[in-house]
């Protein structure tokens, strides 16, 4: 019994000793545990602060992209009003790595404007280019010190850095063509009829009605889809469907608010062209960019694009198939001329640069390369009285080009320029002489001109040639305000070294070789004077034929006529 009590006493003493050890160990471990808990709480708080800072940075980037002209001030205002206190704008190389008395602010921000390319094929890091033109994106980087609550004064928190890139996409629909100020019904009827493979009998009044009319492009495409029984297709599918000119004219006639005269003229085209006329693809003349993927029944808003009716019809005809050739016999319909014949070759428009395009900056539209031969005969004057003078006039016109430089959605409300387009006028050559038919018929082959006989009588033989380069290749920036776009105004870039008369330009450089018979009293000076007296009265009529035929095809030698049909500005989105 005594042994049992001794054992119990020993166990109780051992327990008392162990309890003291636990108390000592608890006293030693508790501060460490409390410190670890404090660190966990503060680190969790800093992580939450980082997430909040990233959200605020993303919001600042979106705000900056929506206000490119004043991005910096909008970023500072947003950060300050959302609890950031005093924020300083500093470049990255100026950021302090820790608290610095020279920078009393607790936060720094860098705002970098640039160009963002929304191309999934590019690595994300290469899509934003700082300082790239045109400006359409902003990168905002914010640096601030985190805050510890429990460890404040014990440990300095690390600097937090967050960054975001926001992109505001904008597109403009624009075209390059010509304003046909005056029409010669017979010549244009013959030209368009030849290209269509049918006969047109439109009056000058009909053409003027077509020239003055605009049509809602998307409304016309909706009508065309219904007429063709196309369902579930996109606008790109509609544009890519081969149709007749009659079907195009019918769709235009049914869409929009057109005048009675315009509808009547379209009805004539529809009736005369017929279902078997030239088949065309509107996709060869029109590119709607990303909007083309929408379907007619898509509830999303579509750009309000107005297209000129006459240019739409002629651009669609000339853009399809390529390498059009037409031969016209105008007879003696041109004032002052005994005979007039025209041959025309229209080159294929580059596939990447249609007549009308809805796209972002750097997009290009062009006119087609064109070659025109106008051979005319007229009665001689003065010394050449009784003789016929034959002049083979060749005109080669390169493509006019318009490139979309920038779209500024920031200025659209104020009426300041919102679209800038670089226009390069069509340049060309004017030639008088003989050329090889194979060279004339193939766009891309260089034309070589040689002496041709323009007067051939028993007593006098006159040969001549001329080769004149017209225009330059410098582009001109054209700015379109919101008012210009709403009013459908076109602007023209003109070459500075272009004279108004084509035939006159060639005649001034005419190289004349005179071979007078033994009984002839003619001298070179007398023949030159007789040629001038003969040709001067027909300068304007010949130029009129050439300019109107070219203008019908959307080409104006020495000029590039540009029109902006509409602007779309999307809300900024966060992309990085």
Q: Over the chain, what is the mean pLDDT?
A: 79
Measure the CA–CA gap between 197 and 131, rounded to whole angstroms. Answer: 53
Is 126 within 8 Å of 17 (Cβ atoms)?
no
* pLDDT for 148 beyond 60: no
Q: Kindly give the pairing relationship between strand 286-287 and strand 356-359.
A: parallel
- pLDDT digits over 113-147, tens only? 888 877 777 888 888 888 877 777 889 888 887 66
Is 509 within 8 Å of 466 (Cβ atoms)?
yes
Q: How confident is the model at residue 416 (pLDDT cuts 50, 70, 90)?
A: low
Mean pLDDT of 164-178: 83
Q: Which residue shows structure tokens 């009319």?
A: 213
Helix (H, G, I), strand (E, B) or coil at 204: helix
Q: How confident is the model at residue 519 (pLDDT cuts 50, 70, 90)?
A: very low
Measure the CA–CA gap between 118 and 116, rounded to whole angstroms. Answer: 6
Structural Rg of the chain based on CA atoms = 38
Residue 166 parent element (H or E): strand 159-167
* pLDDT for 194 beyond 70: yes
pTM above 0.75, yes or no: no
The half-sphere exposure of 372 on its side-chain side, counting CA atoms within 13 A, is 32
Mean pLDDT of 516-526: 62
Is 67 within 8 Å of 408 (Cβ atoms)?
no
Is 106 within 8 Å of 144 (Cβ atoms)?
yes
Measure the CA–CA gap between 561 and 495, rounded to whole angstroms. Answer: 12
Most confidently modeled range among 99-103, 251-255, 523-527:
251-255
Rounded to the nearest angstrom, the gap between the alpha carbon of residue 193 and the centroid of all alpha carbons in its chain is 30
Mean pLDDT of 210-239: 90
Measured N-to-C along each axis, helices 309-319 and 245-254 cross at an angle, to the nearest 10 degrees, of: 160
Most confidently modeled range among 67-71, 392-396, 404-408, 547-551:
392-396
Is 346 within 8 Å of 352 (Cβ atoms)?
no
pLDDT confidence of residue 482: 83
Is 449 within 8 Å of 509 (Cβ atoms)?
no
Measure the CA–CA gap between 114 and 86, rounded to whole angstroms. Answer: 26
Backbone angles phi, psi at 293, to 5 degrees: -80, -15
* pLDDT for 520 beyond 60: no
């Amino acid at each position: 019994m005594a042994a049992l009590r001794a054992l119990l006493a020993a166990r109780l003493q051992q327990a008392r000793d162990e309890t003291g050890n636990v108390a000592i160990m608890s006293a030693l471990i508790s501060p460490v545990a409390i410190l670890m808990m404090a660190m966990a709480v503060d680190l969790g708080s800093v992580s939450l602060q980082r997430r909040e800072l990233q959200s605020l940075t993303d919001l600042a980037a979106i705000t900056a992209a929506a206000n490119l002209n004043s991005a910096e001030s909008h970023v500072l205002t947003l950060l300050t009003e959302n609890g950031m206190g005093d924020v300083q704008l500093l470049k990255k190389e100026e950021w302090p790595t820790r608290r610095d008395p020279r920078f009393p602010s607790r936060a720094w921000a860098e705002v970098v404007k640039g160009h963002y390319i929304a191309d999934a094929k590019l690595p994300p890091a290469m899509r934003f280019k700082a300082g790239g033109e045109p400006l359409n994106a902003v990168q905002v980087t914010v640096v601030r010190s985190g805050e510890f609550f429990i460890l404040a004064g014990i440990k300095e928190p690390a600097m937090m850095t967050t960054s975001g890139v926001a992109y505001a996409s904008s597109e403009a629909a624009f075209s390059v063509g010509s304003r046909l100020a005056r029409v010669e019904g017979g010549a244009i009827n013959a030209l368009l009829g030849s290209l269509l493979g049918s006969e047109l009998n439109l009056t000058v009044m009909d053409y003027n009605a077509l020239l003055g009319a605009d049509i809602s492009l998307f409304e016309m495409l909706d009508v065309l889809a219904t007429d063709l029984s196309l369902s579930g297709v996109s606008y790109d599918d509609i544009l890519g469907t081969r149709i007749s000119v009659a079907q195009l004219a019918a769709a235009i006639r049914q869409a929009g608010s057109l005048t009675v005269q315009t509808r009547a003229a379209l009805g004539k085209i529809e009736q005369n062209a017929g279902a078997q006329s030239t088949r065309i693809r509107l996709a060869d003349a029109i590119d709607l960019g990303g909007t083309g993927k929408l379907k007619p029944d898509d509830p999303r808003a579509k750009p309000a694009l107005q297209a000129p009716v006459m240019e739409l019809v002629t651009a669609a005809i000339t853009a399809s198939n390529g390498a059009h050739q037409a031969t016209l016999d105008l007879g003696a319909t041109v004032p002052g001329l005994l005979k007039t014949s025209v041959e025309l070759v229209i080159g294929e428009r580059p596939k990447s640069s249609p007549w009308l395009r809805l796209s972002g900056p750097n997009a290009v539209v062009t006119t087609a390369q064109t070659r025109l031969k106008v051979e005319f005969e007229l009665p001689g004057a003065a010394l050449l009285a009784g003789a016929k003078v034959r002049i083979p006039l060749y005109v080669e016109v390169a493509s006019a080009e318009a490139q979309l430089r920038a779209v500024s959605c920031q200025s659209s409300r104020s009426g300041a320029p919102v679209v800038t387009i670089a226009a390069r006028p069509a340049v060309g050559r004017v030639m008088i002489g003989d050329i090889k038919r194979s060279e004339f018929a193939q766009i891309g082959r260089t034309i070589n001109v040689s002496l041709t006989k323009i007067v051939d009588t028993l007593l006098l033989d006159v040969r001549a040639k001329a080769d004149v380069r017209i225009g330059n290749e410098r582009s001109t920036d054209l700015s379109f305000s919101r008012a210009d776009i709403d009013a459908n105004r076109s602007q023209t870039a003109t070459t500075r070294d272009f004279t108004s008369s084509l035939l006159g330009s060639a005649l001034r450089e005419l190289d004349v070789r005179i071979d007078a018979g033994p009984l002839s009293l003619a001298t070179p000076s007398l023949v030159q004077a007789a040629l001038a007296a003969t040709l001067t009265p027909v300068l304007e009529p010949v130029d009129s034929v050439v300019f109107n035929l070219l203008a019908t095809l959307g080409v104006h030698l020495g000029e590039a006529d540009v029109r902006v049909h509409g602007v779309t500005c999307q809300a900024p989105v966060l992309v990085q």
